Amino acid sequence: MSGPRDAFAATLGVDVLGYGGGRAEARVSVTDDHLNPHGTAHGSFLFSLAGIALAAAANDAEHSGVVSAVHIDYVRPARVGDALVATAEVAERLAKEDLFVIRVTRGDELVARANGRANRRPR
């Protein structure tokens, strides 16, 4: 399911799939524009990829989710040409917010793992 246009995701070259319902994916191939001075994907780029997936998972036609916190652990570096997928899934549904787990992977390898929370309000 396609969601609203995310201008920031588009700027980074990120494609978002599966908005809402507590799950979404964000996909991107690492380019030279995403690198830090060490020649690996910048941490803020990986954080943004995870955050884009989280925001997409938290929003749908019925609910408006506003992200209130994200914690990320960087596990492995990503390099130019790597195809990354960030998958956000709701782990716990509370009365007015959802807790999510976001995994950024390269094939079967974990690159980063994040936890996030989003307030859930009716549209």
Detail the DSSP E strand segments found in 53-108: 63-74, 83-93, 97-106
Residue 4 has pLDDT above 80, yes or no: no
| DSSP H or E segment with residue 26 | strand 23-29
**Residue 65, pLDDT score:** 87
Q: Which two tokens stand for residue 40?
A: 């690996």
For the residues 56-79, what does the mean pLDDT come to? Answer: 92
Q: Which two tokens stand for residue 55?
A: 């925001």
**Residue 19, pLDDT score:** 77
CA gap 55, 114 in Å, rounded: 13
Other CB atoms within 10 Å distance of the CB of residue 85: 18
Other CB atoms within 10 Å distance of the CB of residue 31: 14
Q: What is the pLDDT of residues 9-55, one digit of tens each?
A: 999 999 999 877 789 999 999 999 999 999 999 999 999 999 999 99
Output b/e per residue, 36-58; b: 16+ Cβ within 10 A: eeeebbbeebbbbbbbbbbbbbb
Q: pLDDT confidence of 5, banded at 50, 70, 90?
A: confident
CA gap 109, 76 in Å, rounded: 8
Report percent pLDDT > 70 for the chain.
97
